[in-house]
Amino acid sequence: MRRTRNAKIVATLGPASSDKETVRQLFLAGVDVFRLNFSHGSHDDHRERFNVLRALEEETGRPIAILADLQGPKLRVGVFANGPVQLVEGAAFRLDLGTAPGTAERVSLPHPEIFAALVPGADLLLDDGKMRLVVERCGPDFAETRVAVGGRLSERKGVNVPGVVLPITALTAKDRRDLDLALEMGADWIALSFVQRPEDVAEARALIGDRAAIVSKLEKPSAIEQLDAIVELSDAIMVARGDLGVEMPAERVPAIQKRIVRSCRRFGKPVIVATQMLESMIDSPVPTRAEASDVATAIYDGADAVMLSAESASGKHPVEAVKMMDRILQEVESDPLYRQLIDASHASARAGGDVAEAVCCAMRRVVSLLHASTIVCYTGSGQTSLRAARERPESPILSLTPNVATARRLALAWGVHSVHTQDVSNAEEMTEVARQLARREGFARPGEFVVTIAGMPFGTPGTTNLLRIATA
Residue span(s) of the chain under CATH 3.20.20.60 come to 8-73+169-328
135, β-bridge pairs: 145
Please write the tens of the pLDDT for every residue from 393-433: 999 999 999 999 999 999 999 999 999 998 888 888 989 99
Chain center to CA of 18? 21
Q: pLDDT for 251-268, tens place per residue?
A: 999 999 999 999 999 999
- CA dist 439 and 458 (Å) reads 23
What pLDDT is stored for residue 141 in this prediction?
96
Select which of 24, 47, 54, 76 is catalytic. 76
For the chain, the average pLDDT equals: 94
User: Which of 461, 467, 463, 265 lies closest to 376 in space, CA to CA?
Assistant: 467
- Asked if the model's pLDDT at residue 461 lies above 90, the reply is no
Class of domain 355-471: alpha beta
DSSP class of 296: H
- Amino acid of residue 38: F
Q: What is the pTM assigned to this prediction?
A: 0.92
CATH of domain 8-73+169-328: 3.20.20.60
Percent of the chain with pLDDT over 90: 86
- Identify the pLDDT of residue 243: 86
Give the pLDDT score at 459: 67
- Given pLDDT bands bounded at 50, 70 and 90, which one contains residue 376? very high
Return the closest-CA partner of residue 39 out of 201, 191, 211: 191
Q: Is 5 a catalytic residue?
A: no
Catalytic, 266? Answer no
Domain 85-160, classified CATH 3.30.465.10, yes or no: no
Of 169, 275, 374, 406, the active-site residue reads: 275
Catalytic choice (5, 35, 49, 265): 35
Is residue 471 over pLDDT 90?
yes
CA separation for the pair 275, 90 (Å, rounded): 33
Give the per-residue pLDDT at 426: 85
Please indicate whether residue 217 is annotated as part of the active site: yes
Catalytic residue among 8, 49, 106, 217: 217
Domain with CATH 2.40.33.10 in the chain: 85-160
pLDDT at 208 over 90: yes
Give residue 462's pLDDT: 67
User: What is the Cα–Cα distance from 123 to 283, expressed in whole angstroms?
Assistant: 34
**295-320 pLDDT, tens per residue?**
999 999 999 999 999 999 999 999 99
Asked if 22 is an active-site residue, the reply is no
pLDDT of residue 351: 61
For 344, phi and psi rounded to 5 degrees? -65, -30
**Residue 458's pLDDT band (cuts 50, 70, 90):** confident
The set of residues, in sequence order, having a beta carbon less than 8 Å from that of 66 and lying 6+ positions away, is 33, 34, 36, 50, 53, 185, 186, 187, 188, 189, 408
Q: Taking the C-alpha atoms of 107, 112, 117 and 119 in order, what is their torsion angle to the nearest 10 degrees?
A: 40
Other beta carbons within 10 Å of 183: 16
- The confidence score (pLDDT) of residue 165 equals 83
pLDDT band at 172 (very low <50, low <70, confident <90, very high): very high
Question: Is 80 exceeded by the pLDDT of residue 352?
Answer: no
